[in-house]
Amino acid sequence: MTPDAATLTYDAARDRPAEECGVFGVRGADDAAVLTALGLHSLQHRGQEACGVVAHDGARFHIERHLGLVGDNFAGQGAAERLPGRTAIGHVRYSTQGAPVLRNVQPLYADVRGAGVAVAHNGNLTNARLLREELVSDGAIFQSTSDTEVILQLAARSARQKPTNRLIEALKQIEGAFALVALVNDKLIAARDPLGIRPLVMGDLDGATVFASETCALDMIGACFVREIEPGEAVIASADGLQSQRFAPVRASRPCAFEYIYFARPDSVIGGRSVYETRKNMGRILAHERPTPADVVVPVPDSGVPAALGYAEASGLPFEMGLIRGHFVGRTFIQPTQAMRDIGVRRKHSANAAALKGKRVLLIDDSIVRGTTSRKIVRMVRDAGAAEVHFRSACPPITHPDFYGIDMPLRSELIASSMDPAAIAETLEADSLAFLSLDGLYQAIAGEPRNPQNPQLADHYFTGEYPTRLMDHGLAQSDKERQLSLLVDA
Amino acid sequence: MTPDAATLTYDAARDRPAEECGVFGVRGADDAAVLTALGLHSLQHRGQEACGVVAHDGARFHIERHLGLVGDNFAGQGAAERLPGRTAIGHVRYSTQGAPVLRNVQPLYADVRGAGVAVAHNGNLTNARLLREELVSDGAIFQSTSDTEVILQLAARSARQKPTNRLIEALKQIEGAFALVALVNDKLIAARDPLGIRPLVMGDLDGATVFASETCALDMIGACFVREIEPGEAVIASADGLQSQRFAPVRASRPCAFEYIYFARPDSVIGGRSVYETRKNMGRILAHERPTPADVVVPVPDSGVPAALGYAEASGLPFEMGLIRGHFVGRTFIQPTQAMRDIGVRRKHSANAAALKGKRVLLIDDSIVRGTTSRKIVRMVRDAGAAEVHFRSACPPITHPDFYGIDMPLRSELIASSMDPAAIAETLEADSLAFLSLDGLYQAIAGEPRNPQNPQLADHYFTGEYPTRLMDHGLAQSDKERQLSLLVDA
Amino acid sequence: MTPDAATLTYDAARDRPAEECGVFGVRGADDAAVLTALGLHSLQHRGQEACGVVAHDGARFHIERHLGLVGDNFAGQGAAERLPGRTAIGHVRYSTQGAPVLRNVQPLYADVRGAGVAVAHNGNLTNARLLREELVSDGAIFQSTSDTEVILQLAARSARQKPTNRLIEALKQIEGAFALVALVNDKLIAARDPLGIRPLVMGDLDGATVFASETCALDMIGACFVREIEPGEAVIASADGLQSQRFAPVRASRPCAFEYIYFARPDSVIGGRSVYETRKNMGRILAHERPTPADVVVPVPDSGVPAALGYAEASGLPFEMGLIRGHFVGRTFIQPTQAMRDIGVRRKHSANAAALKGKRVLLIDDSIVRGTTSRKIVRMVRDAGAAEVHFRSACPPITHPDFYGIDMPLRSELIASSMDPAAIAETLEADSLAFLSLDGLYQAIAGEPRNPQNPQLADHYFTGEYPTRLMDHGLAQSDKERQLSLLVDA
Amino acid sequence: MTPDAATLTYDAARDRPAEECGVFGVRGADDAAVLTALGLHSLQHRGQEACGVVAHDGARFHIERHLGLVGDNFAGQGAAERLPGRTAIGHVRYSTQGAPVLRNVQPLYADVRGAGVAVAHNGNLTNARLLREELVSDGAIFQSTSDTEVILQLAARSARQKPTNRLIEALKQIEGAFALVALVNDKLIAARDPLGIRPLVMGDLDGATVFASETCALDMIGACFVREIEPGEAVIASADGLQSQRFAPVRASRPCAFEYIYFARPDSVIGGRSVYETRKNMGRILAHERPTPADVVVPVPDSGVPAALGYAEASGLPFEMGLIRGHFVGRTFIQPTQAMRDIGVRRKHSANAAALKGKRVLLIDDSIVRGTTSRKIVRMVRDAGAAEVHFRSACPPITHPDFYGIDMPLRSELIASSMDPAAIAETLEADSLAFLSLDGLYQAIAGEPRNPQNPQLADHYFTGEYPTRLMDHGLAQSDKERQLSLLVDA
């Protein structure tokens, strides 16, 4: 997906950045497609718009892609029969460009010379558009507008003889952030971008090799964690065992800070750190950085809960579930119409007056993006009888958009890009507002302050320092739209 | 639904009693069907299997019933056009007999002499089968196997001239627990069983009358709470305003204890008491009744959270989210196949090792039914590294099934009906196990001990003292099945 | 269906009367539902809007009803498993009141005291509305607006002990035209109205009993023709063999003339006469009654073909397929929107210029209803280069509507009710126009002139002499609509 | 489609060769997609398995492709809005390889350098596989297994600057039979293979340019016939008017004989000759070549009707509709399961005993392929009481398969490839059997005998003289299957 288009599809209703994708792959286990579906189910928080699975039965490929949730499409008994084989990969994704269309749903598959190749990736290529233009000039026909297909087309045109080498050669040409799983005939390949921006882990299930975006997917199927895929590394699982191949020089990884702040499941472990613990740390440090007289600490559920627990622990204030999250709302968000989203926005949370009435409420959310949802929540809490409402963000002010696979609004819509905390507090109608500091965030995640020469995280959201070149970024929006396809998706 | 059949369809995967229904009605507001859909959406926790709405446009009725969630079926813009009118009622329900079938989905509608009548009810009639047999002998043709239809057939055969009086006359003949909303032409009627076992409240939305199972549905649409419907009372909203009519003598209400323990949403208020607060009370009292050395208090989310917060507060132990609940699992449960349910059972929760490793864990759930899920959770917590696992139930041992609209297993499957706590602890592989006492439960809810002469709650789950006669209970299962219908549902 | 409502749903696009239904039943054969589907498939010309099958497996009933064609809904292998048993009945029907709705699709099923009863009928009851009103006043709840349900409700309320006797008692109370098949538990019953207006035959398939609207359904499954059901006779097939029971006095049958003219398949035999031969006779007699100088005889296909062959044979003129009927148009007609119907009307036939150019064309159709289609066809033939176009109707002028189950326009829309042949010719822009005489029709079908004291056919279309009372006919349209149901069908 | 695969999917149930496709295109008319749908509807006899339409709105393309009939997918009012624009092309096709899959349904669309290109073609390329292999070796990714995509890939890789020239260049490289319509941005192009094997005509609709497989599609929308596309000619309709371009040298056309015998609609005109008249000629000449004592001439409907009329006329024998074709059977054939096809086979025709009993029947069909259906029909006629059954084929013995887009069985399954007429008569259980002679066929179509040096028709079915090279034919079946795609279609 191209960066600017991404901004158009930011999930305004949720007012939360939306990760594009989760990936999963397994080789060497019976009913690989069912394991893949279970793994994807545990990664469903990374994308609810569409899902797909490709299985290889030893000789041929089987593919199934759907709009909608994994549980609704792959949970029945039929999946094993429809997608036979001991090797499979899968993908969940969040809606991106306009109406979600099936031809863009991953994994993408292509017959290339001497092999079938299927690819699923999480992230965003920052030179996909330039590569695409070169390929089209050279006679390539694209069947989708997904940047994943660029990888397939590059592999198809590679002069290398061995099919896996063609895929590796393609990886060398792309830039950006990506955590990728692929099938090249019966070989399963996992590859991670040169900086390790997007997460990707390897596991073992009774001898079968498993790859997944997060460790929670390993837990789901009972697989053991083995290690993370290294930045710039491709791991190839084949009949000959595991083989590691580098397609970029060795560098320290620079994982995306937002995985810790919001995206990853709290029970996942990224870079050796418990996501839950890093979030509690954010709350603890925030309590120390910004002590505030209050009667109760109330999280915006569910993502604000760990930070609020950390804050309550550090501050000694009581923790209360002053906001209730409807169990059945999740589904509503994935509906593409604005009308549906509006209902979703208003209906996701409800105030629990019993915990709020007459109290000075310290409200903690993981982050503030546009501020629209935060304003609604502040009002809801006040309407329920709170005496004061103090809003706290468990991460620093978000001032810059992402170009690595995360849906975010245009910079101009990021409330912290143009307002200081006092102005934001006024806009949110909160009695006070404060953010975790950047060093506080680093302390919470890495246990040390930010290294300005060599930042330990991808933190462009807060700093504007993008970890890679942004090749496609100069192309004007209108030009790009015209060129991607002349076909209007139904 | 008949009691024994109910036991067959208890949601074993969830190992939690399953409320059958939630009801909602509104009269005198534009787009009444959309308001009804929103209200039902907030009552979705009371039933996810099917939903239906009937609207009256001033002259005629419009009906739409679906298997599945409210948000998936009524959330679009089309609902207002498909179901026009300023008066509407709706219903959500949990699957009951075998495969869910559309002909049993409520509201049910019938043309009776001089009027259209639509009825939706939450609860269970304890003499429905006997009444049905009399009616069939007299030539009545039933189109469903729902006991709601008994009410319609009684109303159709009533000799009373005024259609609303025919419905009232029907209410006098039925026994059991019911919270009912009905349309009789453009009149909206709400009625509650003589003991007020099932909840039913009245609200006001800018002059429009609203009825709902819980106050959270009033909050959802911005309506004000007015009062509860009295036990044995019917309230009729018509062009002439509100009229209250009694169909049973005045008695003290005896609300179902399980609404407080598990069913109702924590932000609802029943009988003037915050459900959230009563649950925290259960935890607090449990901490006093059963002090236990431990390092962390961990709830089984989401229903165990308030009790765990209360326990942590009273005991001074830290509260941790040691179990994570998948956001997208809710959907899985409504799948009717056993295979789907098994996946649901295993996938609802995951352990958060960061909060459990090396700790003495005090695990709190709202209740223990069969113990199967509890055992899995104990094992999951131990596998994540907990040093000790102490299981606590925030309600007393459940020893008797319900016959008032709540799916529960047969008595023989209720683990506490045949085992003492020590044996249950062994079965659950927990280091210790304890229950809240019956008087503790009364204290938590009513602020006073149980009055044995006149219990303040329907508490047969724990005592076996059923608040009404059980007329149908003697009929043998096989006889009953044969007689309800010779038609096999597709 | 009530007579006036019928007129509203006359298939204007086809400008042809539309038979409402075909029925089929079989007892004592494996896969009875599959045989029933095949039988219904051969009766598909009698109704394409909806179809249904009910099977009895020896203990319980299985039902499946659909909008659409038999081949699209029951042709797969699954039908045998979904509808198990050795006894089944089925029904095809043409759309009648407004939008087709599933609750009106036959067979209808009801649990009555001590038995399950399923009924499918072809025809129309002329006192259904009066009976329905009595039943509703007495507390009956109707689940459909179909007059078939009146039969079920009467049976449910009968005081007779034996379930089959209750159905017989119901038959005694209804008036009009009906060919009915029913299941009463495992008994299969066929019954025909007291005048035998609608056709119904009995066949034998290796010992299994078969009933069907037409003999072509017997041919389809390889069953032998046994005999017609007598007017006023009910035949009951049970484990005890066949039993005949009269519910009305013995009278000469008076079959509907339009079955011979248009409805029945040409390869069917009704009342011992080949439908194909009677149609050729109509053409032969028309040639003698109305000799016309012409170069070619051209039928309006397919229904006009036999008459045109007879005319060509008798006149010695060459027969040519000057109009081609699209093979894939049939499907279009069943679409309920007017837009679809318009396309259907224009696209059903195309002119074959090679057979028409420069010729004096004698065009033969089975009948003329409103004349709208005829006018289009005349113009199409002329546009293709015909020198003259002479239009001939193989039946007499239609001046009166039907109330026995055939969709026809209001009397005022029947072109022959207000115009003489010369005026019709002018309207149709034909060079001449002529009809078969009434006695010619009788000669063609019965081989003898009409007996005015005791007409051998139901011929009210041409004479206005209705063979039964029309009890419901006096009720005003608006009253009737209001009373049938307050529920608007989605 | 590759020739051998074609043989696998020959419609055995129908025992009739199955044309693969019909094409239609229009430029310069409002609602071009609706006109296209109507045109395709009239070409539905050329393929009932799938259909597709691509429209160009002046700036972008809109595509919609479906399995099933045109009337079921494009007949509603929505088509104009979903597929806006004044230029459109469309396609109907018959099922070919295994299960029909959407990715093979035409038109195919591709974004090529500087243009969008959509192509729909009728026919078969005899060097598609060789070209495909070269393209894949060169890095092309195919999204389908359709040979139409070869044309797109060749155009994408052409070095020519002007997009239309790239398409022309692609046409120069392909061999075989094809009638093609294409869109290159807003230009509409029609092209016909160098020998004009498949038909393609041009029409005019109030100034708009129309292309279609047959003239009946022009009649359907009221367009005038202008001329046929010449063999080896491409006609480009653009804002600059019509431009003709040759991509192959001028040669006499050699149209497929089977279009006259069976495929084309009788009201179409091909090469200036009425299809209906040529078929009557076949019957007339057969009557002279093979005079036979009989009582009636009976066609196998519908395709045998014109020949039977010609035979009856020339022989003076009476013509009778002794076989009735079910109106609603057409639909059954398109079902892909064998079970459905079996039902179709048995149920397409029924015998009309009234026209057959005791008669010496001369049965005329357009052709005999495998003989299986013919045998069933002979038996059916005899079972209906015919005294003698004489079978006549209105074309010569079919001894060779087709490789130009017509599904036919393997040569070994063609009954006339291994048996003489006497043996076939015995197999068919006919009293006699005869074929039209090859010169008789030429007389009927061309009015002159076959010119052995330069045959006027593609007549390889009867002679084995294929009009083009068969480049792909040497490739072994198994090799080819493996290489086309490793993806198993769901």
Set of chain D residues whose Cβ sits within 8 Å of the Cβ of A63:
487, 490
Residue B132 contacts residue B142 (beta carbons within 8 Å): yes
Question: Per the structure block, which two tokens stand in for D433?
Answer: 């059997």
Mean pLDDT, chain A, rounded, equals 88
Asked if residue B167 and residue B126 are part of one domain, the reply reads yes
Neighbours of chain D (3+ CB pairs under 8 A): A, C
Contact A111 D141 (CB under 8 A): yes
Strand partners, B323: B351
Q: What is the pLDDT of residue B453?
A: 93
A224 in active site: no
Stretch A202-220: mean pLDDT: 96
With a CB-CB cutoff of 8 Å, which residues 91-150 of chain B face chain C? 109-113, 115-116, 136-137, 139-143
Q: Tell me: pLDDT of B37 over 50.
A: yes
Confidence of residue B71 (pLDDT cuts 50, 70, 90): confident
Q: Tell me: pLDDT of C242 over 90.
A: yes
Asked if residue B288 and residue B243 are part of one domain, the reply reads no
Q: Tell me: pLDDT of D330 over 80.
A: no
Asked if residue D353 and residue D239 are part of one domain, the reply reads no
The kind and range of the H/E element at D154 are helix D148-157
Asked if residue C190 and residue C152 are part of one domain, the reply reads yes
Asked if residue B279 and residue B221 are part of one domain, the reply reads no
Confidence of residue B77 (pLDDT cuts 50, 70, 90): low
Set of chain B residues whose Cβ sits within 8 Å of the Cβ of A265:
324, 350
Contact C60 B109 (CB under 8 A): no
Q: What is the residue range of A105's domain? A: 22-254
With a CB-CB cutoff of 8 Å, which residues 42-71 of chain A face chain B? 42, 44-45, 48, 69-71
- Please state the pTM of the whole predicted model: 0.88
Beta-carbon neighbour count of residue A168 at 10 Å?
21
Query: Which DSSP letter does residue A296 get?
Result: E
Half-sphere exposure of B60 (CA within 13 A, CB side): 14
By CB neighbour count within 10 A (0-12 exposed, 13-18 middle, 19+ buried), where does D472 fall?
A: buried
Q: Tell me: pLDDT of A334 over 70.
A: no
Q: What is the pLDDT of residue A69?
A: 85
Contact B486 C157 (CB under 8 A): no
Residue A443 contacts residue A53 (beta carbons within 8 Å): no
Query: Which DSSP letter does residue C105 get?
Result: P
- Of A31-45, A469-483, D179-193, D235-249, where does mean pLDDT reach its minimum? A469-483
**Residue C44 distance to chain B (closest CA, Å):** 24
Is residue B457 a part of any domain in this protein? no
pLDDT digits (tens, 9 = 90+) for B386-438: 999 999 999 999 999 988 887 777 788 899 999 999 999 999 999 999 999 99
Set of chain B residues whose Cβ sits within 8 Å of the Cβ of A70:
328
pLDDT digits (tens, 9 = 90+) for C373-410: 899 999 999 999 999 999 999 999 999 988 888 777 77
Mean pLDDT, chain B, rounded, equals 88
**Residue B75 distance to chain A (closest CA, Å):** 6
Find, in chain D, the residue whose alpha carbon is nearest to that of A158.
Answer: D139
Residue B46 contacts residue B94 (beta carbons within 8 Å): yes
* Cα–Cα separations (whole angstroms), residue D95 to B317, B359, D50, D337, D407: 70, 65, 7, 12, 9
Confidence of residue A15 (pLDDT cuts 50, 70, 90): low
Q: Tell me: pLDDT of A409 over 90.
A: no
Please state the domain count of chain B.
Answer: 2
DSSP string, C354-391: HHHTT-EEEEEES--SSSHHHHHHHHHHHHTT-SEEEE
Q: Tell me: pLDDT of C253 over 80.
A: yes
Residue identified by tokens 């990664």 is A43
- Of A99-113, A307-321, B163-177, where does mean pLDDT reach its minimum? A99-113
Catalytic residue among C21, C216, C256, C395: C21
pLDDT digits (tens, 9 = 90+) for A370-382: 998 899 999 999 9
Is residue A45 a part of any domain in this protein? yes
Q: What is the pLDDT of residue C35?
A: 92
Candidates D324, D340, D341: best to mutate against C (most CBs of C within 10 A) is D324
Q: Tell me: pLDDT of C339 over 50.
A: no
Confidence of residue B310 (pLDDT cuts 50, 70, 90): very high
Q: Tell me: pLDDT of D341 over 70.
A: no
Stretch A292-303: mean pLDDT: 96
pLDDT digits (tens, 9 = 90+) for D389-424: 999 999 999 999 888 887 777 788 899 999 999 999
Q: What is the pLDDT of residue B13?
A: 47
Is residue B458 a part of any domain in this protein? no
**Pick from D332, B175, B41, B340: which is nearest to C331 by CA?**
D332
Mean pLDDT, chain D, rounded, equals 88
Q: What is the pLDDT of residue A403?
A: 85
**Pick from D409, D486, D465, D479: which is nearest to D129 by CA?**
D479
Asked if residue A307 and residue A221 are part of one domain, the reply reads no
Residue C39 contacts residue C26 (beta carbons within 8 Å): yes
- Catalytic positions of B: 21
Confidence of residue D13 (pLDDT cuts 50, 70, 90): very low
Contact D110 A82 (CB under 8 A): no
**Residue B310 distance to chain A (closest CA, Å):** 10
Confidence of residue A98 (pLDDT cuts 50, 70, 90): very low
Look at B10 and D260; give whichever has higher pLDDT.
Answer: D260
Look at C466 and D470; give whichever has higher pLDDT.
Answer: C466
Q: Tell me: pLDDT of A333 over 80.
A: no
Catalytic residue among A21, A51, A216, A395: A21
SS3 C323: strand
Stretch A280-303: mean pLDDT: 97
**Residue A473 distance to chain B (closest CA, Å):** 35
Stretch D176-205: mean pLDDT: 97
Is residue B485 a part of any domain in this protein? no
Percent of chain D residues topping a pLDDT of 90: 71
**Pick from C292, C308, C298: which is nearest to C381 by CA?**
C298
Inter-chain contacts counted by CB atoms under 8 A, chains A and D: 93
Taking the C-alpha atoms of residue B260 and residue B272, their distance in angstroms, rounded to an integer, is 12
Contact D143 A139 (CB under 8 A): no
Residue A341 contacts residue A290 (beta carbons within 8 Å): no
Asked if residue C289 and residue C140 are part of one domain, the reply reads no
- Give the range with max mean pLDDT: A327-331, A399-403, C87-91: C87-91
Confidence of residue B227 (pLDDT cuts 50, 70, 90): very high
Contact B111 C142 (CB under 8 A): yes
Q: Tell me: pLDDT of B329 over 80.
A: no
Find, in chain A, the residue whose alpha carbon is nearest to that of B305.
Answer: A321
Asked if residue C69 and residue C173 are part of one domain, the reply reads yes
Candidates B111, B137, B481: best to mutate against C (most CBs of C within 10 A) is B111
Query: Closest to D141 (Cβ–Cβ): which among A153, A185, A490?
Result: A153
**Residue D44 distance to chain C (closest CA, Å):** 7
B and A touch with 3+ CB pairs <8 Å, answer yes
Asked if residue B330 and residue B300 are part of one domain, the reply reads yes
Q: Is D337 on the interface with C (CB under 8 A)?
A: yes
Look at D93 and B438; give whichever has higher pLDDT.
Answer: B438
Q: Is C319 on the interface with D (CB under 8 A)?
A: yes
Percent of chain A residues topping a pLDDT of 70: 88
CATH number at residue C61: 3.60.20.10
SS3 A104: helix
SS3 B249: coil
Is residue B436 a part of any domain in this protein? yes
Asked if residue C322 and residue C279 are part of one domain, the reply reads yes
Taking the C-alpha atoms of residue A327 and residue A96, their distance in angstroms, rounded to an integer, is 25
CATH number at residue B440: 3.40.50.2020
Q: Is A220 on the interface with B (CB under 8 A)?
A: yes
pLDDT digits (tens, 9 = 90+) for C4-50: 332 333 444 456 555 579 999 999 999 999 899 999 999 999 988 89
Contact D355 C42 (CB under 8 A): no
Confidence of residue C244 (pLDDT cuts 50, 70, 90): very high
Find, in chain D, the residue whose alpha carbon is nearest to that of A184.
Answer: D486
Taking the C-alpha atoms of residue B280 and residue A486, their distance in angstroms, rounded to an integer, is 60
Set of chain B residues whose Cβ sits within 8 Å of the Cβ of A364:
none
Q: Tell me: pLDDT of C98 over 70.
A: no
Beta-carbon neighbour count of residue C306 at 10 Å?
29
Look at C363 and A103; give whichever has higher pLDDT.
Answer: C363
Amino acid identity, position B404: Y
Q: Tell me: pLDDT of C336 over 80.
A: no
Query: Closest to A75 (Cβ–Cβ): which among B269, B320, B343?
Result: B343
B and C touch with 3+ CB pairs <8 Å, answer yes
Asked if residue A145 and residue A286 are part of one domain, the reply reads no
Look at D81 and A307; give whichever has higher pLDDT.
Answer: A307
Asked if residue B332 and residue B204 are part of one domain, the reply reads no
Q: What is the pLDDT of residue C15?
A: 62
Stretch B235-261: mean pLDDT: 96
Is residue B266 a part of any domain in this protein? no
Query: Closest to A136 (Cβ–Cβ): which among D63, D113, D137?
Result: D113
Q: What is the pLDDT of residue D325?
A: 84
Q: Is C78 on the interface with D (CB under 8 A)?
A: no
Q: Is the dihedral of CA B426, B431, B432, B433 positive or negative?
A: negative
Q: Is A481 on the interface with D (CB under 8 A)?
A: no
Is residue A215 a part of any domain in this protein? yes
Query: Closest to B141 (Cβ–Cβ): which among C60, C141, C158?
Result: C141
Q: Tell me: pLDDT of C447 over 90.
A: yes
* Cα–Cα separations (whole angstroms), residue C343 to C334, C336, D35: 12, 12, 12
Q: What is the pLDDT of residue D195?
A: 96
Contact C139 B156 (CB under 8 A): yes
Set of chain D residues whose Cβ sits within 8 Å of the Cβ of A490:
62-64, 82
Is residue B460 a part of any domain in this protein? no
Beta-carbon neighbour count of residue B8 at 10 Å?
14
